[in-house]
Amino acid sequence: MATVHDVLTRAFRAVGILSAGETLGAEDAAAGLASFNGLVAGWELQGIRMALDPLALTDEIPLPDGHVEAVLWNLCLQLCAEYNRQVPPAVVALANTGKRGLQAAYAAVPEMRGETMWLSRRRFLAR
């Protein structure tokens, strides 16, 4: 399993913020960690419920490898925005495909209560 630090290093390299052989500095690691946790928290608001608590740099990401890849490419998009970098088209494609996969795997369908359906039907019939 990959750690958050591993994924951050790959993401920073993929968008050219970090060169091959360079190590992730403390400031970039902290910024990347905030981006990673913010990305996952934002997806929770969009109905992608991966049930991940905020992670630390040394934590392993408790997701299947394919799902970690999807997070990686979406993290690249976020890093490009934060570091004012041009987003490579391949990254956009991989991020979009990955997010659709995560939506399919983790989408939470809102619970529909019977009262709501009854009230809606009653209002409709009363017109």
- State the DSSP code for 52: -
Which residues constitute the domain of residue 90? 4-126
How many structural domains does the chain have?
1
- The predicted model gives 9-29 an average pLDDT of 96
CA dist 117 and 76 (Å) reads 42
Tokens of 16: 């050219």
pLDDT tens figures, 75-120: 999 999 999 999 999 999 999 999 999 999 999 876 766 655 555 5
Measured distance CA(122)–CA(43) in Å, rounded:
35
Q: What is the pTM of this model?
A: 0.84
Q: Tell which residue, 70, 82, 92, has the closest CA to residue 35.
A: 82
What CATH number does the domain containing 25 carry?
A: 1.10.3230.20
- Residue showing tokens 């990673």: 36
